Amino acid sequence: MKPLKELTRPNIWNLKPYSSAHNECGATAAKVFLDANENPYNSPYNRYPDPQQSEVKARLSKIKGVRPEQIFLGNGSDEAIDLLYRCFTCPGRDNVVAIEPTYGMYKVCADINDVEYRTVELDQNYQTTADRLLHACSDTTKLIWICSPNNPTGNNIMRDEVVKVINEFQGIVVVDEAYSDFSSERPLRLDIAKYPNLVVLNTFSNAWGCAAIRLGMAFAQKDIIDIFNKVKHPYNISTLTQRQAIEALKEPYEVDKWVKTILLERGRMIEAFRLLPFCERIYPTDANFFLAKMNDAQAIYDYLKSNGVIVRNRANVHLCNNCLRITIGSKSENNELLSALRQY
């Protein structure tokens, strides 16, 4: 890859970050806090949260197999996505490359940051090659986005092709592993030590059942994480979110049970959908959802909505014509969906 200084937006590289008193005093065992203009009453909510989320990262490190200094925590993965643009792309000059279709926030953030967004269309099996992605790049391409398992298609992008992109691209490769807990493939976050240009995203929203706390993760080598920490808001993760994350991280085996249950339900739901006369195809999935091609996705979506069952209509997404995306819910929720469909 190019030197990180060349990839980083010049004003960001030279940025002197805001320094809070928490950062300046470090691990000092202080008793009296008269530094941050806080109200002395209404403990513990009167104090600002830990700006580096040290306890969360320490616990997460053991579970995710990465060092604390290789972890960035954001307000959902969307904060990390936006930071990648703000740190490494110059508005009106640089571009990024992404597979298509994929998670929509990559393009939204590109548009917000005035960065050209180039797409590489997936094939009929929702796959691509490293050569096609690299061919779409130019001298001003800073980021390549690869969501794997991909959203909305559900499948893993071929690992050999992803690794080839990481090895050959001179910029930063972002692999979004939001749904990796539901896949049998080895997570790329375990290999960040090999790749200085790799950033891996993950989230508490799916396998961890914590979408409400809005906590996303980015894993990368320390020099990239340090740049994120320069740019992020000083107290970007609230005390309440950090506390709930710590509670969740105390029960990783419970999460394993949830994942196994969801995978069993996924298999059951796919088999049930195959029997529906108006379901034309089920696409392979490595996530906690699957993409189903229907004979009239809009009509079926409207019917389900009128019966109080909400799925995701992807019929207007490129290469997803007449497709519904079905999230795997609880057994009772899944049964309600099937019951409604069998009466369609």
What's the gap between Cα 80 and its chain centre?
8
Q: Could you tell me the pLDDT band of residue 31, with boundaries at 50, 70 and 90?
A: confident
The DSSP 8-state label assigned to residue 287 in this structure reads S
Per-residue pLDDT at 182 exceeds 80 = yes
Q: What is the mean pLDDT of residues 106-128?
A: 98
| Residue range 38-56, pLDDT digits in tens | 999 999 999 999 999 999 9
Pair 221, 237: CB distance under 8 Å: no
Residue 19: its pLDDT value, please?
82
Three-state DSSP state, 96 = strand
Residue 162: its pLDDT value, please?
98
Residue 35: its pLDDT value, please?
87
Residue 28: its pLDDT value, please?
59
Residue 27: its pLDDT value, please?
53
Q: What is the mean pLDDT of residues 67-95?
A: 98
- For 281-314, give one letter per residue: b (16+ CB within 10 A) or e: ebbebbbbbbbbbbeebeebbeebeeeebebbbb
| Residue range 159-175, pLDDT digits in tens | 999 999 999 999 999 99
Three-state DSSP state, 8 = coil
Q: Which residues contact 99 (CB under 8 A, 6 or more apart)?
A: 119, 120, 122, 128, 133, 145, 146, 147, 150, 157
Q: Could you tell me the pLDDT band of residue 312, with boundaries at 50, 70 and 90?
A: very high
The fraction of the chain above a pLDDT of 90, given in percent, is 94
Q: Could you tell me the pLDDT band of residue 113, with boundaries at 50, 70 and 90?
A: very high
Per-residue pLDDT at 244 exceeds 70 = yes
Q: Could you tell me the pLDDT band of residue 33, with boundaries at 50, 70 and 90?
A: confident
pTM assigned to the model: 0.95
- Token match 């979110």: residue? 241
| Residue range 245-292, pLDDT digits in tens | 999 999 999 999 999 999 999 999 999 999 999 999 999 999 999 999
What's the chain's average pLDDT? 96
Residue 23: its pLDDT value, please?
67
Q: Which residue has the higher pLDDT, 222 or 19?
A: 222
Sheet with 141-147, edge to edge strand ranges: 71-75, 215-219, 198-203, 172-176, 141-147, 95-100, 116-121
